[in-house]
Amino acid sequence: MDVLLLEDEVNTREFFTMLLHNIPGVTKVLAASSGEEAIRLARYHRPDLILLDIELVNDDLTGMEVAQQIYDFDQEAYMIFVTAHSQYAISSFAVHPYSYILKPIVIEEFRAIISEVATKVNSQDKQIADTIMVPVRHKRSFILKEDINFIEVQGKQTIINAKSGQWVTNKPMVELEKQLNSDFIRVHRAFIVNEKQIKSITQISDRTYEIELRDCSQRIPMSRSAYSKHKRLFS
């Protein structure tokens, strides 16, 4: 599990870094001393867990504001706030924190909560080969790849249609596509189809084809260029 730590006080930052390195399941610690640095590291490294001090001295941003900016581009990371003031709990609901650690910390409690997240992250990693992870309404849903019939884009939303149900997410289809294997082919700019679910392909015009699926009544459009690229799979 990769952890991003935001703590502006150098001794505390070094102490937390030492503790984190000694917790099983933690593989990397990215330590940031300012809000801007934390946002930059989060954008580039996409850590699994972000540990933020809320009160930052001599910084233009608070830890809460940093969390909100990170949440705008990454809703998947777990967030834990470190604070001496419990009243921040209500204002942090917008970024859906996993937990809070109150200062002064109790080391065993600190280790326990980080270990708990590490266990969740490592368990999720084991599911990656057979599933895709989809953020839906601030939660992570794991969908078996073999159950997916097709994925489509409607406006700014991506819809995953599977045997077990339908999921609507704001995650771009191009990002979901990175989690898929060679069983999935892009048949149209707005559609990805599970090749194993294709029952037949019918030409409906000079430039367009239509896909009939085995376990789904919806017909899927296929462009001429996609057909030319993948027709060997259906011959």
Cβ(167)–Cβ(160) under 8 Å?
yes
Candidate from 112-116, 135-139, 156-160 with smallest mean pLDDT:
135-139
Q: Can you spell out the DSSP letters for 157-206? A: EEEEEETTEEEEESS-HHHHHTT--TTEEEEETTEEEEGGGEEEEEE-SS
Each residue's pLDDT tens digit, 185-232: 999 999 999 999 999 999 888 888 999 999 888 999 999 899 888 877
Q: Give residue limits of the domains in the chain.
A: 2-127, 131-234
Cβ(128)–Cβ(134) under 8 Å?
no
Q: Which of 119, 127, 126 is nearest to 98 (CA)?
A: 119
Environment class of 6 (CB within 10 Å of its CB; exposed 0-12, middle 13-18, buried 19+): buried
Candidate from 9-18, 97-106, 135-144 with smallest mean pLDDT:
135-144
Quote the percentage of the chain above a pLDDT of 70: 92
Each residue's pLDDT tens digit, 35-59: 999 999 999 999 999 999 988 888 8
The third-level CATH classification (topology) of the domain covering 131-234 is OB fold (Dihydrolipoamide Acetyltransferase, E2P) (2.40.50)
63 token code pair: 């830890």
Q: Which of 69, 70, 15, 78 is nearest to 48 (CA)?
A: 78
> Under CATH, which number does the domain 2-127 receive?
3.40.50.2300
Give the pLDDT of residue 150.
96
Each residue's pLDDT tens digit, 71-92: 999 988 999 998 876 665 545 5
Q: Which amino acid is at 72?
A: D
**Count of CB atoms situated within 10 Å of the CB of 136:** 15
